[in-house]
Amino acid sequence: GDDGEGEPILEPERAIRNENDTDEILHEAPCKLFGYDKVSSEWKDTGKGTFRITRSPDTQKQRMLVRNIIGKITFNAGFYKNMEITVQEGKKASIQFAAFVAVEETVKDPTTSLPTTVTKTELKTFMIKLKPTDVAQTAAKIRDSIASL
């Protein structure tokens, strides 16, 4: 498995799953995750991992996650109506999409003037680079999840 950058993408069999995670895995594929930085107008590499589409057994709500090699979640977002994806097939196989993610920001507390951390939800653009053989199926699964809303 080669993603064109000389480093193999993590195989899903070796990906770690959290024992407390009861969500059903609908799809998974090894990937490299990038976030678009509006300030520098560049894609920032946020690391390799396993892209997953999961469904909660209780709410039936579907989400997208990326877990890195040590099992830490590096991306976690829900699907939303009219969500669009851009698919690139072939050697530079990737899927781009905008997702609402939690962003932590340090702000000054208006009462105490001390720094405090607030979590906001922001729409950010992401790209997952995949093996060319995984792109069509992953894109189809994302589209199915969007259609299920």
At residue 137, the pLDDT reads 97
In terms of C-beta density within 10 A (0-12 exposed, 13-18 middle, 19 or more buried), how is residue 108 classed?
exposed
What's the chain's average pLDDT? Answer: 89
3-state secondary structure 85-126: EEEECCCCCEEEEEEEEEEEEEEECCCCCCEEEEEEEEEEEE
* 102-108 average pLDDT score: 89
Nearest-angstrom CA–CA distance, 43 and 102: 19
Average pLDDT over residues 83-112: 94
The predicted structure's pLDDT at residue 129: 97
Looking at the predicted structure, is the pLDDT value of residue 109 above 80? Answer: yes
Strands 62-67 and 42-55: antiparallel
pLDDT for residue 19 = 62
pTM: 0.81
What is the predicted pLDDT for the residue at 17? 55
Residue 1: the pLDDT is 41
Q: Dump pLDDT digits (tens) for 41-76.
A: 999 999 999 999 999 999 999 999 999 988 899 999
